[in-house]
């Protein structure tokens, strides 16, 4: 049961943090078009299809299909999250209407997050619940993990909602950059596992202080891409992603601001 709690908590928490950031940001920019329900539909259908075709996906790229597809999904979510953040900041700055792309980016970001995490949960429940005759234990642990993840996400959302709109939009932008860089870091780790990037000895090991399987570790991994024993390549990719994505967000905002003053 404990393993079910940890695994489902990790997956639910990652998706919930993305959704919380998007929900908080949309309230700050007063975006009222429906996007959450379509995102849930995309997530459920996509997760089922991903899990259903998992065997075929795993055989792709000489048996490295699952790692490569997951890495691509993570990087795509990161790109969509930053792209949405750029448009949201511009809308907040201009106090006007955003393009139709804003809703597409919202649905794509939240939907793909749910696809990846939902597929992982479905595969785990099927493999260790139905196939291994441990359904009661797996379902009980999954319910507890999902409950903790949803509760944490709800708490974070209402905490952010108490802030002023300007503070909310900038804080969610910072969170978006950190999460996107963390997703890119996770994608790098998958590519290392697939031997597509060089493996290296870890720089340090902080598992004695914060275990990745602990509640704090799960939260930090979902929000920042925390690794207890990162390699030099993972660290440099993570820091480079933070710097690059921060530059993109700030430059887009300042460019828009300058154009408006002109």
Between 213 and 76, residue with greater pLDDT: 76
pLDDT band at 261 (very low <50, low <70, confident <90, very high): very low
The C-alpha angle 217, 221, 225, rounded to 5 degrees, equals 145
Q: Rounded mean pLDDT of 162-168?
A: 92
Question: Confidence band (pLDDT; 50, 70, 90) for 137?
Answer: confident
- 258 band by pLDDT with thresholds 50, 70 and 90: very low
Query: Count of domains in the chain?
Result: 1
Q: Quick one: pLDDT at residue 131?
A: 63
Alpha-carbon distances of 244 from 82, 110, 180, 220, 236, rounded to whole Å = 11, 22, 11, 21, 12
The mean predicted confidence, pLDDT, of the chain is 88
Distances (CA, A) of 93 to 88, 103, 262: 9, 18, 14
> What confidence score (pLDDT) does residue 122 get?
87
Distance of alpha carbon 63 from alpha carbon 67, whole angstroms:
9
Do 239 and 185 touch, CB atoms closer than 8 A?
no
pLDDT, one tens digit per residue, over 116-128 is 899 888 888 887 7
Residue 222: its pLDDT value, please?
83
CA distance 71 to 52: 19
- Tokens 């300042």 belong to 254
Q: Is pTM beyond 0.95 here?
A: no
Structure-model confidence comparison of residues 195 and 129, the more confident one? 195
| CATH, residue 68 | 1.20.1250
Average pLDDT estimate for 219-223: 85
d(CA 113, CA 224): 15
What residues make up the domain containing 124? 2-261
């Amino acid at each position: 049961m404990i393993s079910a709690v940890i695994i489902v908590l990790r997956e639910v928490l990652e998706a919930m943090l993305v959704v919380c950031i998007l929900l908080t940001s949309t309230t700050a920019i007063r975006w009222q078009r429906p996007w959450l329900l379509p995102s849930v539909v995309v997530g459920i259908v996509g997760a089922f299809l991903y899990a259903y075709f998992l065997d075929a996906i795993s055989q792709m790229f000489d048996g490295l299909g699952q790692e490569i597809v997951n890495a691509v999904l993570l990087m795509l979510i990161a790109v969509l999250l930053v792209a949405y953040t750029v448009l949201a900041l511009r809308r907040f700055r201009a106090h006007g209407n955003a393009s139709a792309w804003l809703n597409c980016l919202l649905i794509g970001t939240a939907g793909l997050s749910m696809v990846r995490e939902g597929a992982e949960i479905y595969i785990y429940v099927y493999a260790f619940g139905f196939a291994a005759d441990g359904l009661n234990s797996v379902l009980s642990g999954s319910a507890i993990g999902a409950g903790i993840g949803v509760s944490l996400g709800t708490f974070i959302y209402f905490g952010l909602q108490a802030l002023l709109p300007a503070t909310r939009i900038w804080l969610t932008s910072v969170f978006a950059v950190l999460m996107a860089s963390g997703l890119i870091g996770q994608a790098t780790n998958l590519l290392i596992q697939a031997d597509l990037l060089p493996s290296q000895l870890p720089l340090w090991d902080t598992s004695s202080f914060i275990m990745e399987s602990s509640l704090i570790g799960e939260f930090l991994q979902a929000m920042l891409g925390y690794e207890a024993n990162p390699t030099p390549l993972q660290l440099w990719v993570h820091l480079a992603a933070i710097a690059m994505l921060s530059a993109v967000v700030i430059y887009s905002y300042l460019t828009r601001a300058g154009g408006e003053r002109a």
